[in-house]
Structure 1
Amino acid sequence: MRFFEATHKYPFDWETVSLASFRKYPNDKTPHVQHVEVLNQEIDPETGVLKTERLIMVKQNAPRLMMKLLGGSDSSYVLEYSEVDPRDKTLTMHSTNLTFSNLLTVGEKIVYKPDPEDTKNSTLFAQSAKLSADGVLSRFSSYIEETCLKRFHDNALVGKLGLEQVLHKILAEKRQERGGAGNMAA
């Protein structure tokens, strides 16, 4: 079993970062994410919590030996559950792999929340993951876990770059809206 953790502080307000998280795909920084399908979405009328279930199709370059032995394709699927709590200002996302889950399970949790030191201008990001190849013969499980952990780490880095790209796009849209509204009033 392997564990991954990462934290980051985005110099953007929580609302903008949360919006960017849902608009993250597709983008050129994360070409491995091929498609995102919203399966279910509902708002709790009492709490205002938005719950979303998405299916994410990812193209991964799995080791050739593994693909030959298991007979899979280069596309894999991830199921993601998210909750946006507008009162507590938290976005929590849980995801797990569906493809080859009998051989390798990857459980990921991401939380976005305002930075307590600067709630209006900064958002904290916390990511954790557990990778386990328990279903594989023990002599191969360590190799598979290490290979997948490295790939997870690399994907996390490009995912951060992808989110930052979307954040800047949203900021540009906001500036354009303010500029457009100001021009209309003049």
Structure 2
Amino acid sequence: MSTGGVPIDLVLRKPRPARPELVVLCDVSGSVAGFSHFTLLLVDALRQQFSRVRVFAFIDTTDEVTHLFGPDADLAVAIQRITREAGVYTRDGHSDYGNAFVSFTEQFHNVLSPRSSLLVLGDGRTNYRDPATDVLAHMVTASRHAHWLNPEPKHLWNSGDSAVSRYQEVITMHECRSAKQLAAVIDQLLPV
């Protein structure tokens, strides 16, 4: 009894927070193509901050495109290949967020978990189709964090075929038109 019968106070290190998984769901339709490409480049640059990054693209249906963004991939070529090779549309080639969310949950139902952060990229313009907010709500609930980056100026949200106000009821939406705004959102996804 080297401590003379006095209990020892163990001092343990604080556990390091686990690196989250990132799930990116990206609208690659014509109206947001430039923003999507910029954001995918940034997400690729942030790979080391996440334990796993999975990228899904959609126009009216969803397909996984993670394999196009491997460590040695030419990102410009990968982005071009999405619209040529990925199964991102099955109908008329116009955005259909509702159908894209449904196809995501049907095909990739095990992707979202309490360890994952969901990042939706798009303008929320549904072409007057069903926005499937109930499906998005399920996706948000299945994730630890969920954020939506919208490249449109806020004053255009909810105009025309935009379903932004309905989506804002279930997910935190951010206007994201600059690298500074994007960095602020990514900061929220990273562990403290």
Check whether TM > 0.5. no
**Larger strand fraction of residues:** 1
Larger RCO (alpha carbons 8 Å, 6+ apart): 1
**Larger helix fraction of residues:** 2
Q: What TM-score, normalized by structure 2, do the two folds share?
A: 0.26
Q: Flag the structure with larger Rg.
A: 2
